[in-house]
Amino acid sequence: MDKIDDIVAILKRENKKYIVPIVTIVSMTKSPFMVLISCLLSLRTKDKVTAEASNRLFKLADNPEKMLGLSIKNIEKTIYPVGFYKTKSKRIKEICRALLDDYGGVVPDEIDELLKLNGVGRKTANLTVTLGYGKLGICVDTHVHRISNRLGLVKTKTPEQTEFALRKKLPKKHWLIYNDLLVTYGQNLCVPISPWCSKCKIFKYCKRVGVERFR
């Protein structure tokens, strides 16, 4: 096994002790729409807040048609206090209208089509494709970007650069699980400031790029 295979195997084992990211839990519903919306809610928002807001919202509306039946004020009240909740409420309505008008109420399963939806970036598009449809993609958020660079797997400045670098370097067999593994690890151990390197089981593989202080 090469370095990446070893890292993935270790993280699979280690992450069993941690809480699974909320968008992954939502994906178990097998609803691409719910994955898409929960991912939008998760942007700039802590996982616990996203989980609670997603649960409240999906009790009211779990498809585009039902969501359009809600007022923006109702959505705002329901998803508060997620980050930028007022903007996200408007985006959710716009996306649901576009889904009904342009896609027959079905969430697209192609990244390029998802990117046409207002407010959907590459992270959200990749996550919807991978978790919503089980299709290949590499979702890169702040955790994936940070840890991939810390490990020395890539040398990039933005999440988008990291995605395309990983598409060239990361074996496709790891694409679907890579985001889950690094998000979970990044939330619990490989945190942004002063990561827990003394507890890290992949320490020997890590170049610790940019790590100035660790525990």
Domain ranges of the chain: 3-19+138-205, 31-133
Q: Tokens 């610790």 identify what position?
A: 208
**pLDDT higher than threshold 90 for residue 154:** yes
On the CB side of 143, CA atoms within 13 Å amount to 21
Q: Where are the alpha helices (DSSP H) in 62-197?
A: 64-68, 72-79, 85-103, 111-114, 122-127, 133, 142-151, 159-169, 175-188
User: Roughly what angle, to the nearest 10 degrees, separates helices 32-42 and 85-103?
Assistant: 150
Q: What is the pLDDT of residue 156?
A: 98
Calculate mean pLDDT across residues 156-168.
Answer: 97
pLDDT band at 30 (very low <50, low <70, confident <90, very high): confident
pLDDT band at 15 (very low <50, low <70, confident <90, very high): very high
DSSP state of 105: T
Calculate mean pLDDT across residues 55-65.
Answer: 97
**pLDDT higher than threshold 50 for residue 16:** yes
| CATH T-level fold of 31-133 | Endonuclease III; domain 1 (1.10.340)
**pLDDT higher than threshold 50 for residue 1:** no
User: Which of these, 112, 148, 114, lies nearest to 132 by C-alpha position?
Assistant: 114
Q: What is the pLDDT of residue 9?
A: 96
**pLDDT higher than threshold 80 for residue 88:** yes
Q: What is the pLDDT of residue 44?
A: 87
Q: What is the pLDDT of residue 100?
A: 98
| CATH T-level fold of 3-19+138-205 | Endonuclease Iii, domain 2 (1.10.1670)
Q: Give 165-197 pLDDT, tens digit per residue.
A: 999 999 999 999 999 999 999 999 999 999 999
Q: What is the pLDDT of residue 29?
A: 77
User: How far is the C-alpha of 40 from the C-alpha of 26, rounded, in Å?
Assistant: 13
